[in-house]
Structure 1
Amino acid sequence: MAVTTCFVILTYNRVDALVQVLRALAPQCTAQHEIVIADDGSSAAHVAALRAQLPKFSCAVSHVWHPDTGFTASQARNLGAMASQAEYLVFLDGDCVPNAHFVKAHEALAEAGYFVNGNRVLLSERLTQQVVTGEVDLLAASAWDGLRWRFQGDTNKLAHWVYWPQAPGRCESQFRWKQIRSCNFALWRRDFMAVNGFDESFEGWGHEDADLVLRLHHLGLSRKNGFFSTEVFHLWHRQNSRHAESVNYQRVIERSHTDIVEASRGIRDNLSSEGVVVTALN
């Protein structure tokens, strides 16, 4: 029996970017997949725009919304995971457009005892604007387009033009801070539940993803990197406030000297969350 996979997509008041993500995913998904849009409190206007522009999927698409109380990405992701029964979870941000083989690449890398840390390509403000207005279709771009964008400074790398599923050096057994990204991250649902998901006690932007990875390592899992395989195009946006980054960083440092596995406030603590609205979109 095929493994069921859910793509949990975090969003907040940026429907133009989210629609590009969904359009890239739609042709890659089959009936065995699930899409859950984990909404961190978008306005009614943005939710209505999403409904109007939702592309056609052959799998179920759900929208999980909770009230806007500030930057609570960890809770939104946990709520999104709760709305799915899939065996495998792929977390994706609503401004990260997956490449044309993203779904099969993540499923090929899925392996017991590992989580997958995806890769990303940063886009400039200029190229991002062309993408969200429909002037540029990233998945239809040629290698020449990629070279031109890199030469012009519109992207930061060319790795996404190489698809190498069996590339060496993917697996790491030790915790490492570098390039941990919850905007493109996958793991088995059983492992996510075992560590109680993302820790919602991390306030503001920063390092809740490193904390999750640290606790997964404490659980006994190893890291598998998704370079040359799972790249996403990260659309440009203004930098979020990072007022809490140093505090969150210090928390992870302190936890690295312990064997803590479970989030102090995580997915199991959301079982009776108030104000959460779950809607089937198709």
Structure 2
Amino acid sequence: MSHAPEPTVPRLAARLTAYAVLAHDPAVPGIAADYWAKSEEHYRTVDAALAALVAASPASERAYRDVVTDPTHTAPQHALRESLAGLLEEHPVQRNELADAVTEADRHIWIDYHLGAEYTSQEPPAAPEPPEPRPRSEPATVHVVIPFRDRSGGLRTRNLLACLKALADQEGGPGHRVTVVETDSEPRSREVLEGVVDRYVFARKDGLFNKAWAVNVGVVEATGDASYVCVLDADILVDRHFVARNTARLREGGHGTHLPFRWSLSLDGPSTLHAIGLRNGRGAADVPDAVLRGLLLREPPGGCVWLRADVFHAVGGFDERFEGWGGEDDDVVARLAAAAPLTRYDDPLLHLDHPRPAMTRDDGLPFNAHIEPVSWTRERGYGDREKFTAATA
């Protein structure tokens, strides 16, 4: 009678397979260049040890090579997991060494891999209907601000509409208002968005996208006296109790700012369609992670930030000198944490798939390396919608 693998063996096989994907999938360095730089050495170390292990088994080596050749194809990953479970049982010394290597690497990596047990790349659920008209008359406790630009009318617009539909499907929470701020040389998305958000703001600016300024414009131009602000990226799909849960945290927690997640799951293309179809097409309250595949980013500073409105204004909002990819979220979170207590929660955060922006300048340097961190203050002024008008007129 064969001996069943210990519970740790299947998990170790799964983690080793994940490291093979992380070391060889080109999407990993493409998702966050700074996180890749922190993590690459650890991926390579575990992957090299895995390659040495599978060299002793032709079946395992074939499965491993299939994963390396096409890290996005999940069938070889399942085959490698299954093969490794038996191989690890046969080689206890190497098993213990690999377990130690994985434990050590897990402490240091900033991008991880998730493959749900029920994930499929087959036809997703039915597409959702467009968002219903949004404006409402009840008082708003929460103001959700979404910065946006999509010059092709493509996946970013699809993601924003999915985000808006999920925000319209909220239960048990206080009144909330949604403002989308489009920054571009022309209001490309006005016709799509007006009527399905409480407020559409066009802030004229050509050149690099300036998320920081767009957020400030949205908060400054908000009508009413909402006590809380949620800065939400246009590619985040929220669950039905998102507003209620996070508002209660701010009311009861005694802190000024929170990020409701520790890991952000950046979904692949099929998972994105499944998530949108389930949440918005079928009206599910949330999306189970068992049906999803993607890359997990450890404690990213942005994507979704909740805070008291007074704290936002006390620090002068985001630093409007940041343009292009990277830096503005780290900077504002540091300044918010200095102004009032900041905390994190462990909710899932689903990031919808879209083309990745350039993460460095043409010379390879970060876009905003010249900016002194946490040097922005409210005295500089913030949220002026006309700030870039003369330059782009």
Pairwise same-fold verdict (TM > 0.5) = yes
2:134 alignment partner in structure 1: none
SS at match of 1:39: strand
- Contact preservation (8 Å) 2:143, 2:228: yes
* Structure 1 gap segments, 5+ residues each: 55-59, 158-177, 277-282
- Contact preservation (8 Å) 1:198, 1:263: no
The one-letter amino acid paired with 2:248 is: A
- Name the CA shift for 1:3/1:63 in 2 (closer, same or farther; >3 Å): closer
Q: TM-score, normalised by structure 1?
A: 0.70
Q: TM-score, normalised by structure 2?
A: 0.52
**1:91 Cα shift?**
0.5
CA deviations 1:92-137 (Å, max 9, x no partner) are 0111111222111211221444311132322112222455678974
Q: CA RMSD in A?
A: 3.3
CA deviations 1:143-201 (Å, max 9, x no partner) are 7x53132xxxx2346xxxxxxxxxxxxxxxxxxxx624332001111111111110011
1:155 alignment partner in structure 2: 294
- Contact preservation (8 Å) 1:24, 1:139: no
* Structure 2 gap segments, 5+ residues each: 1-138, 151-155
- Name the CA shift for 1:113/1:261 in 2 (closer, same or farther; >3 Å): farther
- Name the CA shift for 1:264/1:155 in 2 (closer, same or farther; >3 Å): farther
- Contact preservation (8 Å) 2:166, 2:279: no
Q: For 1:66, which of 188, 203, 209 is the aligned residue?
A: 203
CA deviations 1:203-231 (Å, max 9, x no partner) are 22111111112222332x22210213xx3
Please tell me whether Structure 1 or Structure 2 has the larger radius of gyration of its CA atoms: 2
CA deviations 1:35-75 (Å, max 9, x no partner) are 111222285443212347x3xxxxx7101111232211111
Residue-pair matches, total: 235
Larger strand proportion of the pair: 1
1:21 alignment partner in structure 2: 163
SS at match of 2:358: coil
- Name the CA shift for 1:212/1:264 in 2 (closer, same or farther; >3 Å): farther
Counterpart check, 1:10 vs 2:147: yes
The one-letter amino acid paired with 2:270 is: R
- Contact preservation (8 Å) 2:203, 2:214: yes
- Contact preservation (8 Å) 1:16, 1:132: no
- Contact preservation (8 Å) 1:6, 1:36: yes
Counterpart check, 1:202 vs 2:322: yes
Greater length-normalized contact order (CA 8 Å, ≥ 6 residues apart): 1
1:122 alignment partner in structure 2: 266
1:173 alignment partner in structure 2: none
CA deviations 1:9-47 (Å, max 9, x no partner) are 122123211111111111217773211112222854432
2:356 alignment partner in structure 1: 239
Q: Give aligned-pair identity as a percent.
A: 24
Q: Structure 2 CA distance, aligned partners of 1:243 and 1:86?
A: 37
The one-letter amino acid paired with 1:72 is: N
Stretch moving more, 17-26 or 117-126 = 117-126
CA deviations 1:227-278 (Å, max 9, x no partner) are 13xx332101222112257363574xx546xxx562675526x2764659xx
Larger helix proportion of the pair: 2
